[in-house]
């Protein structure tokens, strides 16, 4: 099972492949904004993907490309696990 590490929160846990980063964060007790409920509409659940973990998540969805998100940022409600990733909750301004 892939390991998700939220570096800024000092928390890590294993989850099944295919699970969204938002679901992982919520199960780990990490507070992450998701105004639209995880539908990819609001863009408030951004995370920063650290290191070389970009390819260990599913490719960006149309909801992400429409919002013009670029590496290293992803919407946690859209990014699904493929392998071990290290992320941090991004500040939304």
- State the pLDDT at residue 67: 81
Range of the domain at 32: 3-89
Position of tokens 């099972």?
1
CB 71 within 8 A of CB 54: yes
Counted domains in the chain: 1
pLDDT along the chain (93 residues), means of 10: 97 98 97 93 94 94 86 96 97 69
The CATH number for 83's domain is: 3.10.20.30
- Predicted TM-score (pTM) of this structure: 0.94
């Amino acid at each position: 099972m892939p390991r998700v590490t939220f570096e800024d929160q000092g928390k890590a846990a294993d989850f099944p492949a295919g699970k969204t980063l938002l679901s992982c964060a919520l199960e780990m007790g990490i507070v992450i904004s998701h105004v639209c409920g995880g539908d990819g509409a609001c863009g408030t659940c951004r995370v920063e993907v650290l290191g070389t973990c970009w390819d260990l998540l599913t490719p960006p969805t149309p909801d992400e490309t429409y919002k013009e998100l670029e590496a290293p940022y992803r919407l946690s409600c859209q990014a699904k696990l493929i392998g071990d990733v290290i992320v941090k909750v991004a500040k939304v301004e």
